[in-house]
Amino acid sequence: MKLTVLTDNNTYIDRYFLGEPAFSCFLETGGRRVLLDTGYSDVFLKNAGKLGLPAADSDFVVLSHGHNDHTGGLRPLMAAMGDRRSALVAHPAVFESKFDGGEPVGSPVTAEELSERFDLRLSAEPVWLTERLVFLGEIPELAEPRMPVGTLSDGSPDRCLDDSALAYRGENGVYIVTGCSHSGICNIAEYAKQVTGQRRVAGILGGFHLLERDRRSRRALEYLEREAVGELWPCHCTGFRVRAEMARTMDIGEVGVGLELEWK
């Protein structure tokens, strides 16, 4: 599988791409093109154009969850698709109204709008996109408690049940691509192993939503070290101090727009 980061908070020096505090990546595997998340805007499309990648011609568009830094580019994507119709895969709760500090932070596009351009496949169960790549659906609490982020329209805490990830069944274990890991990176890793039947986590790329060096991040880092994850590529919503702490005992890579990885 080939993976290319199209949007991230970070950009590399002397590589002329655009960045924003958001996430999007493009995957090619099994003869299929998969776009995971669309960032805040059309930045992912501009970067994809410079990279020569047909992001608007993806067979699958997958939403890791419903926050606007992952769904904000949906409308520019629809405009770029022309007459093409693709499948959109996500959790059924992905289009719920979400708020943070009173500000709306949910998807700017509704399910009704998207259904005019996409074949919606909203599932809490795993959805296999190819023989080796799977959308995990709803992540159970297997290794850590799920932490609420913001609120829903009724004022209740948003437990982010829509937060999911992609898992790739590799030759040496399971590889995980996650947007923000609101479900808990430890829960995601454990469930990815269950769904794919793999015993080892070979690599993880994405946002871990570990912002500060606190009890939760320490437990997560202890888990990742204990699991001896082969490749760690923390980005987007992973705090600098957490990444620095991670680098003390683990080999982590620097993620930026244009990063390309090949996983077998």
Listed residue (151, 10, 121) closest to 61, CA to CA = 121
Strand order in the sheet with 32-36: 118-122, 86-90, 60-62, 32-36, 24-29, 2-7, 260-262
**Domain region containing 33:** 2-262
HEC string of 7-75 equals ECCCCCCCCCCCCCCCCEEEEEECCEEEEECCCCCCHHHHHHHHHCCCHHHCCEEECCCCCHHHHCCHH
Gap between the Cα atoms of 124 and 128, Å rounded: 12
Give the CATH number for residue 247: 3.60.15.10
Distances in Å between the Cα of 2 and the Cα atoms of 170, 186, 218, 231 are 12, 24, 31, 15
- Tell me: pLDDT of 198 over 90: yes
Q: What is the pLDDT of residue 78?
A: 96
Q: What is the pLDDT of residue 242?
A: 95
Going by pLDDT thresholds of 50, 70 and 90, the confidence category of residue 213 is confident
The mean pLDDT value for 212-219 works out to: 91
Convert the pLDDT of each residue in 138-178 to its tens digit.
Answer: 999 999 999 899 999 999 999 999 999 999 999 999 999 99
Angle of helix 215-227 versus helix 185-196 axis, rounded to 10: 30
Q: How many domains does the chain have?
A: 1
Global pTM reads 0.96
Convert the pLDDT of each residue in 57-110 to its tens digit.
Answer: 999 999 999 999 999 999 999 999 998 899 999 999 999 999 998 899 999 999
Going by pLDDT thresholds of 50, 70 and 90, the confidence category of residue 250 is very high
The rounded percent of the chain whose pLDDT value lies above 70 is 100
Q: How many helices (H) and strands (E) does the chain have?
A: 7, 16
Q: Where is 100: in which H helix or E strand?
A: strand 98-100
Listed residue (33, 25, 28, 32) closest to 8, CA to CA = 25
Distances in Å between the Cα of 43 and the Cα atoms of 6, 38, 174 are 8, 9, 29
Q: What is the pLDDT of residue 102?
A: 87
Distances in Å between the Cα of 251 and the Cα atoms of 202, 239, 254 are 13, 16, 10
Convert the pLDDT of each residue in 21-47 to its tens digit.
Answer: 999 999 999 999 999 999 999 999 999
The mean pLDDT value for 3-11 works out to: 97
Gap between the Cα atoms of 139 and 28, Å rounded: 24
Mapping DSSP to helix (H, G, I), strand (E, B) and coil, where does residue 91 land? Answer: coil
Exposure string of 99-118, with b = 16+ CB inside 10 Å and e = fewer, is eeeeeebbbebeeeebeebb
**Cβ contacts of 258 within 8 Å, gap of 6 or more:** 4, 5, 11, 12, 15, 17, 47, 51
The mean pLDDT value for 114-133 works out to: 96
Per-chain mean pLDDT for the chain: 96
